[in-house]
C-alpha cells in the first residue's frame, strides 16, 4: 500500500478551493489502483502516460487539479494489448474492470476502467485497503491509436467510427425505449448500414451496446500497421478534436512526483502538447470538468440513506464539511424513501409471464416504485463451463419499461422487495444467471426476497416427494417468501423440505411457502382473445384456401422428452412435421419448443443439437407453419384450438382453457 504524509487526510484549501478529507480518501483510493497499474507497467516495460486533465494536474499541481476527482492515463494500442493480457491473468481480487475482456463489466463508452468495485462498501477490508474510502473509485485508461496520414483512409475510418458512435448513443435510448419515431428510423438505418458494410450480424449473446463497442474498438485500430506517428483516442477526438498526441509522447517520458506519494510518467514534451489543447494551461481555471463534482455524490447520498433507513448513526468520517464548517450534505435533509421499491429480475423473456401479474399489481399501487431489470444468463457446456451469454432486454412487451442492469445498483438502492423466477443459482447444469444475481446474494440486498417459479407443475399428492428437484433449490432456501400454484402444492413443498431438514423446520416452511396460485394462471385467465396481438404471418398461415380459418394446433416439444427419448424424439418430431405438412390445407401447426431446449441439447446432448436445429431451420424456411419462440406463451395457448405435444407444465396451463389435449408418444 501507498504511504501518505501525516495530516494528508484533512480538509485543505488549494488554489482557493476547499478539498474535503473524504475527497482526499477518494484520491488515495484511486492512487492505490494506479499504483497497481504502475507496478505492472514497470515490471513488463509497458508504457503509459498521464493524460488530459490528469496531465495538467501532474505538471501544474504535482498531483490532482484541486477541483478534479479522477485519474486519466493513456497507452498506445500495442502496449494496451500486452497490458490486457496481464490484467486477465493477474488482476487482484479487490479490483475489477469495466472493459470488453471476458467476464468483465462492459463499459458504457470506449474507456478501459479499473476500479476497486462497482459500488460503495463499508466493510473493514475495503476501508483498510483504500484508506477509509467507502466509495467505488478507480482510473480511466484511454487507448491511443494511429491516425492515418492518407486523407482517404482517414475519411473512411472517421466515417466508420462516427457511425458506430452515433449508433451507440441511439442504442442507449433504444434500450430505455426512449427513441422518438425519427430517431427510431435513424437507428434502423445505421444498424442496417453497419450490418451490410461490416458483414456483421448482431446477436443476443451479449448486449448490443457491447457489440457496438467491440466494433468501435476494431474500427479505431484499423491503422495500427501504418507508419503514422500521429495518435489519438478516437472517441475523444470525435468530440474534442485533435489533441496533438504523437507516438513520441509515449516513448520519450519523464517521471515526476504525484501528490508526494508516488511517481508517474508524463511526456517529456508536455508543454507543447498541453499548449496545443489548453492554451496557457498554467493559469488555473476552476470547474471545467465534464461530470458532476464530486463524482461520488450519488454514492454519498446512498450511503447516508442506507444509514437512515436502518436507523444507524452516520459515522463522523463519512460526513463532509465546507470551509465554513457547514455540512455539504446534511443527512437531515434526506427523507427516507416515500414509497417501497420493488425490483423484478427476470432472466428469460419467455418466462416473464410468471412475474408480470405481480409487477402490474405493484405498479398500480401508489405505495410502490417498481423496476423491471432483465439480467444476463449463460449457457453451460457438457463439462459445466459457462459458454455463451444472453441478455434479452429487447424482448419484453412494449408497455413494460425495462432497465439496463448496469444502471441500477442493487447494493446501493437496497430495494424493499426483489422478485425472481430462477431458483437454481449455480445448481443448474444447463444455464446460469450471472452470479451477481444468485438468490444467495440477493438475499443480502433486500428486505424481502420473493421467489415465484417460472414453471407450473401437474398437481400431485401433497405427500409426493417425486418433484423434489423443483423444491430443493437455492431460491426456495434463501427467499423470504415462495409463491406456488396451489395449497396442495404448498403442502407438497413443505413435506419435501421437512423430509430434508427435519420436523423442527416445519413452522418456518409453513410461514415461507404460500399457495396463492400461480401468477401465470392468473394472467392467462385474465386475457381475452381480442386483446391479443396476433402477427399477420400467423393469420395468413391459418387461413384456408376458401377463406375460412383452419384449426390451429399448438405443438409443444419439451426438454424432458428429448432428453429421455433422444433420437427417437427427433424422429418423432420429423414425423409430426411431415404429417402436418401433408394436412396443411386444413390444419395450421403452431410449433412452440421449450425456450431452453437448444441450450440443454448443447450441454447434455450435443450430438442431437445439429439434428434438432436442422429440423427447426427447415420448418422455419419452408414457411408453411408457425414457429413461435416469442416471450408470449399466453398468445399461443389462447389462439390455438387444441394442444398436441409432450407432457409438460404447459399442459397444466392448457387444461385451464378447456380445449382438447393430446400427449405425443415418441414410440408411436
Residue 77 sits in the same domain as residue 38? yes
Q: What is the CATH number of the domain that holds 569?
A: 3.40.50
Distance between alpha carbon 494 and the CA centroid of its chain, in Å?
34
What count of other Cβ atoms lies within 10 Å of the Cβ of residue 346?
28
The predicted model gives 2-21 an average pLDDT of 95
Residue 554 sits in the same domain as residue 648? yes
Cell (9 digits) for 614: 436442422
Q: How high is the pLDDT of residue 99?
A: 92
Let me know if residue 6 belongs to a domain. Answer: no
Residue 170 sits in the same domain as residue 37? no
Nearest Cα to Cα of residue 208 among 161, 180, 235, 170: 170
The predicted model gives 504-524 an average pLDDT of 84
Q: What is the DSSP string of 23-73?
A: HHHHHHHHHHHHHHHHHHHHHHT---EE-THHHHHHHHHSS--TT----EE
Residue 647 sits in the same domain as residue 542? yes
Q: Helices then strands (H, E): number in the chain?
A: 26, 24
The predicted model gives 593-607 an average pLDDT of 84
Whether pLDDT at 459 is above 70: no
Q: How high is the pLDDT of residue 449?
A: 96
- Phi (first) and psi of residue 243, to 5 degrees: -95, -10
- Measured over the CA atoms of residue 460, residue 461, residue 465 and residue 471, the dihedral's sign is positive
Residue 370 sits in the same domain as residue 495? yes
* pTM of the predicted protein model: 0.62
Residue 184 sits in the same domain as residue 267? no
- The total number of residues shown for the chain amounts to 668
Cell (9 digits) for 452: 415465484
Q: How high is the pLDDT of residue 48?
A: 98
Convert the pLDDT of each residue in 279-326 to its tens digit. 899 988 775 455 678 999 989 998 898 788 777 899 999 999 999 999
pLDDT band at 251 (very low <50, low <70, confident <90, very high): very high
Q: What is the DSSP letter of 364?
A: H
Let me know if residue 668 belongs to a domain. Answer: no
Let me know if residue 289 belongs to a domain. Answer: no
Beta strands in 541-650 (DSSP E): 551-557, 587-593, 626-627, 642-645
Residue 649 sits in the same domain as residue 593? yes
Q: What is the mean pLDDT of the chain?
A: 90
Into how many domains does the chain fold?
5
β-bridge partners, 372: 344, 402
- How many Å apart are CA 292 and CA 69, to the nearest integer? 10
Let me know if residue 290 belongs to a domain. Answer: no
Convert the pLDDT of each residue in 373-427 to its tens digit. 999 998 887 777 778 888 988 888 878 889 989 888 898 889 999 999 999 988 8
Q: How high is the pLDDT of residue 388?
A: 81
Residue 561 sits in the same domain as residue 659? yes
Let me know if residue 101 belongs to a domain. Answer: no
What count of other Cβ atoms lies within 10 Å of the Cβ of residue 244?
15
Where is 119: in which H helix or E strand? none
Residue 396 sits in the same domain as residue 479? yes
Can you tell me whether residue 601 is helix, strand or coil? helix
Nearest Cα to Cα of residue 107 among 433, 29, 115: 115
What count of other Cβ atoms lies within 10 Å of the Cβ of residue 485?
23
Q: How high is the pLDDT of residue 574?
A: 95
Residue 322 sits in the same domain as residue 455? no
Whether pLDDT at 463 is above 70: no
- In angstroms, the Cα distances linking 105 to 179, 212, 560 are 25, 15, 34
**Range of the structural domain that residue 26 is part of:** 12-92+119-140+249-278
Residues near 526 by beta carbon (within 8 Å), at least 6 away in sequence: 357
Residues near 321 by beta carbon (within 8 Å), at least 6 away in sequence: 11, 20, 327, 328
Let me know if residue 207 belongs to a domain. Answer: yes
- How many Å apart are CA 613 and CA 619, to the nearest integer? 10
- How many Å apart are CA 453 and CA 422, to the nearest integer? 7
Q: How high is the pLDDT of residue 466?
A: 58
- Measured over the CA atoms of residue 51, residue 53, residue 56 and residue 61, the dihedral's sign is negative
Q: How high is the pLDDT of residue 291?
A: 61
Let me know if residue 311 belongs to a domain. Answer: yes
Q: How high is the pLDDT of residue 460?
A: 57
Q: What is the DSSP string of 292-304?
A: -SSTTHHHHHHHH
Residue 199 sits in the same domain as residue 266? no
Q: How high is the pLDDT of residue 290?
A: 55
Q: How high is the pLDDT of residue 461?
A: 52
Residue 368 sits in the same domain as residue 500? yes
- How many Å apart are CA 462 and CA 483, to the nearest integer? 16
CB 657 within 8 A of CB 638: yes
pLDDT band at 469 (very low <50, low <70, confident <90, very high): confident
What count of other Cβ atoms lies within 10 Å of the Cβ of residue 284?
16
Let me know if residue 99 belongs to a domain. Answer: no
pLDDT band at 338 (very low <50, low <70, confident <90, very high): low
Amino acid at each position: 500500500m501507498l504511504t501518505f504524509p501525516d495530516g494528508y487526510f484533512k480538509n485543505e484549501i488549494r488554489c482557493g478551493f476547499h478539498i474535503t478529507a473524504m475527497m482526499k480518501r477518494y484520491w488515495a483510493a484511486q492512487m492505490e489502483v494506479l499504483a497497481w497499474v504502475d507496478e505492472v507497467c514497470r515490471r513488463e516495460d509497458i508504457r503509459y502516460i498521464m493524460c488530459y486533465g490528469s496531465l495538467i494536474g501532474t505538471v501544474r499541481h504535482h498531483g490532482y487539479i484541486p477541483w478534479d476527482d479522477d485519474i486519466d492515463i493513456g497507452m498506445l494500442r500495442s502496449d494496451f494489448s500486452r497490458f490486457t493480457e496481464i490484467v486477465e491473468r493477474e488482476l487482484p481480487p479487490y479490483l475489477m474492470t469495466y472493459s470488453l475482456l471476458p467476464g468483465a463489466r462492459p463499459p458504457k463508452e470506449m474507456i478501459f476502467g479499473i476500479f476497486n468495485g462497482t459500488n460503495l462498501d463499508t466493510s473493514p477490508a475495503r476501508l483498510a485497503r483504500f484508506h477509509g474510502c467507502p466509495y467505488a473509485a478507480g482510473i480511466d485508461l484511454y487507448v491511443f491509436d494511429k491516425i492515418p496520414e492518407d486523407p482517404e483512409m482517414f475519411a473512411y475510418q472517421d466515417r466508420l467510427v462516427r457511425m458506430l458512435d452515433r449508433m451507440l448513443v441511439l442504442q442507449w435510448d433504444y434500450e430505455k425505449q426512449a427513441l422518438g419515431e425519427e430517431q427510431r428510423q435513424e437507428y434502423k438505418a445505421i444498424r442496417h448500414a453497419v450490418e451490410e458494410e461490416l458483414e456483421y450480424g448482431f446477436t443476443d449473446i451479449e448486449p448490443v451496446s457491447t457489440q457496438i463497442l467491440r466494433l468501435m474498438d476494431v474500427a479505431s485500430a484499423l491503422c495500427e500497421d501504418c507508419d503514422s506517428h500521429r495518435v489519438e483516442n478516437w472517441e475523444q477526438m470525435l468530440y474534442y478534436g485533435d489533441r496533438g498526441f504523437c507516438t513520441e509522447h509515449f516513448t520519450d517520458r519523464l517521471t515526476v512526483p504525484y501528490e508526494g506519494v508516488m511517481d508517474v510518467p508524463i511526456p517529456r514534451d508536455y508543454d507543447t502538447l498541453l499548449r496545443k489543447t489548453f492554451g496557457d494551461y498554467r493559469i488555473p481555471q476552476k470547474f471545467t470538468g465534464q461530470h458532476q463534482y464530486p463524482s461520488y455524490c450519488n454514492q454519498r447520498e446512498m450511503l447516508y440513506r442506507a444509514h437512515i433507513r436502518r436507523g444507524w448513526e452516520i459515522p463522523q468520517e463519512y460526513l463532509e464539511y465546507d470551509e465554513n464548517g457547514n455540512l455539504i450534505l446534511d443527512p437531515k435533509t434526506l427523507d427516507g424513501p416515500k414509497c417501497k421499491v420493488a425490483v423484478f429480475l427476470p432472466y428469460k423473456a419467455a418466462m416473464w409471464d410468471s412475474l408480470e401479474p405481480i409487477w402490474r399489481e405493484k405498479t398500480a399501487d401508489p405505495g410502490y416504485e417498481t423496476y423491471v431489470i432483465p439480467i444476463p444468463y449463460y449457457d453451460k457446456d457438457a463439462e459445466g463451463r459457462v459458454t455463451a451469454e444472453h441478455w434479452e432486454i429487447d424482448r419484453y412487451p412494449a408497455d413494460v419499461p425495462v432497465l439496463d442492469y448496469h444502471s441500477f445498483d442493487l447494493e446501493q438502492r437496497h430495494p424493499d422487495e426483489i422478485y425472481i423466477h430462477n431458483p437454481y443459482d449455480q445448481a443448474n447444469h444447463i444455464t446460469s444467471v450471472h452470479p451477481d444475481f444468485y438468490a444467495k446474494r440477493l438475499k443480502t440486498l433486500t428486505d424481502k426476497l420473493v421467489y415465484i417459479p417460472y414453471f407450473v407443475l401437474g398437481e400431485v399428492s401433497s405427500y409426493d416427494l417425486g418433484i423434489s428437484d423443483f423444491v430443493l433449490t437455492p431460491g426456495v432456501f434463501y427467499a423470504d417468501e415462495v409463491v406456488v400454484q396451489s395449497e396442495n402444492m404448498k403442502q407438497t413443498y413443505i413435506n419435501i423440505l421437512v423430509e430434508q431438514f427435519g420436523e423442527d423446520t416445519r413452522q418456518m416452511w409453513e410461514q415461507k411457502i404460500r399457495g396463492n396460485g400461480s401468477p401465470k394462471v392468473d394472467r392467462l385467465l385474465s386475457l381475452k382473445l381480442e386483446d391479443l396481438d396476433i402477427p399477420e404471418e400467423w393469420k395468413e398461415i391459418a387461413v384456408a384456401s376458401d377463406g375460412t380459418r383452419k384449426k390451429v394446433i399448438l405443438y409443444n416439444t419439451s426438454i424432458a422428452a428429448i432428453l429421455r427419448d433422444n433420437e427417437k424424439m427427433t424422429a418423432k418430431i420429423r414425423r409430426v412435421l411431415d404429417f402436418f405438412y401433408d394436412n396443411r390445407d386444413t390444419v395450421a401447426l403452431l410449433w412452440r419448443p421449450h425456450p431452453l431446449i437448444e441450450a440443454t441439447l448443447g450441454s447434455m446432448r450435443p450430438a442431437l443439437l445439429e439434428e434438432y436445429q436442422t429440423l427447426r431451420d427447415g420448418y422455419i424456411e419452408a414457411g408453411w407453419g408457425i414457429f413461435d419462440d416469442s416471450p408470449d406463451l399466453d398468445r399461443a395457448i389462447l389462439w390455438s384450438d387444441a394442444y398436441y405435444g409432450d407432457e409438460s407444465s404447459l399442459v397444466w396451463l392448457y387444461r385451464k382453457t378447456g380445449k382438447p389435449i393430446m400427449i405425443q408418444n415418441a414410440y408411436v
